[in-house]
């Protein structure tokens, strides 16, 4: 059976799987709850806890599981799979590349860590947003104001576990219409240090901007970092994503 865990907060919906999971559990419980949460938030952050009393899926339920993944394909933001069953963990990791959001696995004793991960926003200081695409192993940075060293310190705290789990980054996208610059020279130095520490883990760097910084980065950046660099107009974000994924 599937039971709803609805006290996690901050737009997160949780499900606990126990006993035998059948087709009716998806049709009457899981899918309606996901539809409701999607209408409410436009994105889905989901906790799946497979408890120690879980027995099995029947075949129709397995088909529903795959169907659900594609039904909400563009909506997945974060999925935490909590289980001590090895094949459940392996399956979650194996299928992580098939959806655009992040999937992370936890043991049952670490369920509170799973909830904390789901609740943690990828919005850093008011000056910098960051989002992950686990399928393409891409990170998008969106500067919203003059950048400070604190932005890059927090960015490091989020991006390092992503690199550790995935082994590398296929790409980073800097997405801003007009690059806002840095608050001080010291903040600029912190940014350069961030690049120096991470450039060997990055295959491609895309500037998606109408600012001169994009053109400058494409012409000059290759002398300082090993990643392939390319500049795109601000309205060509999807082309930048396709280039990184190619």
User: Do 6 and 80 fall within a single domain?
Assistant: yes
Where a domain ends, among 92, 119, 146?
119
Where a domain ends, among 77, 100, 119?
119
Which parts of the chain register pLDDT below 50? 124
**pLDDT at site 48:** 92
Give CA angle at 155 (37, 226), nearest 5°: 120
**pLDDT at site 14:** 92
User: Do 111 and 137 fall within a single domain?
Assistant: no
Where a domain ends, among 119, 149, 177?
119
User: Do 230 and 136 fall within a single domain?
Assistant: yes
Per the structure, the complete domain to which residue 25 belongs is given by 2-119
Asked whether the beta carbons of 4 and 15 are under 8 A apart, the reply is: yes
Q: What is the CATH number of the domain that holds 91?
A: 3.30.750
**pLDDT at site 82:** 93
**pLDDT at site 122:** 55
Positive or negative: CA dihedral 93, 96, 97, 98: positive
User: Do 90 and 135 fall within a single domain?
Assistant: no
**pLDDT at site 15:** 92
Residues contacting 209, CB < 8 A, separation 6+: 174, 175, 176, 177, 178, 179, 231, 232, 233, 234
CA 123 to chain centre: 12
User: Do 140 and 98 fall within a single domain?
Assistant: no
Q: Which tens digits make up the pLDDT trace of 183-221? A: 776 776 777 677 767 666 778 888 898 887 777 766 666
User: Do 150 and 219 fall within a single domain?
Assistant: yes
Q: Name the domain count of the chain.
A: 2
User: Do 104 and 164 fall within a single domain?
Assistant: no
**pLDDT at site 81:** 92
């Amino acid at each position: 059976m599937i039971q709803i865990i609805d006290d996690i907060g901050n737009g997160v919906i949780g499900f606990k799987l126990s006993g035998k999971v059948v087709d009716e559990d998806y049709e009457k419980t899981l899918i309606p709850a996901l539809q409701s949460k999607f209408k409410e938030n436009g994105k889905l952050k989901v906790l799946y806890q497979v408890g120690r009393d879980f027995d099995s899926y029947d075949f129709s339920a397995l088909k529903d599981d795959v169907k659900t993944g594609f039904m909400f394909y563009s909506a997945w933001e974060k999925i935490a799979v909590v289980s001590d069953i090895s094949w459940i963990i392996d399956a979650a990791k194996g299928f992580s590349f098939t959806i655009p959001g992040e999937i992370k696995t936890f043991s049952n004793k670490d369920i509170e860590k799973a909830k904390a991960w789901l609740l943690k926003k990828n919005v850093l200081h008011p000056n910098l947003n960051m989002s992950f695409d686990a399928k393409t192993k891409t990170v998008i940075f969106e500067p919203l104001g003059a950048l400070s060293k604190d932005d890059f310190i927090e960015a490091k705290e989020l991006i390092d576990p992503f690199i550790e789990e995935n082994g590398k980054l296929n790409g980073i996208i800097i997405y801003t219409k007009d690059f806002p610059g840095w608050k001080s020279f010291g903040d600029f130095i912190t940014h350069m240090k961030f690049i120096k520490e991470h450039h060997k883990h990055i295959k491609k760097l895309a500037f998606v901007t109408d600012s001169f910084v994009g053109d400058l980065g494409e012409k000059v950046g290759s002398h300082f970092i090993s990643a392939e660099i390319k500049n795109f107009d601000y309205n060509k974000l999807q082309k930048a994503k396709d280039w990184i994924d190619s």
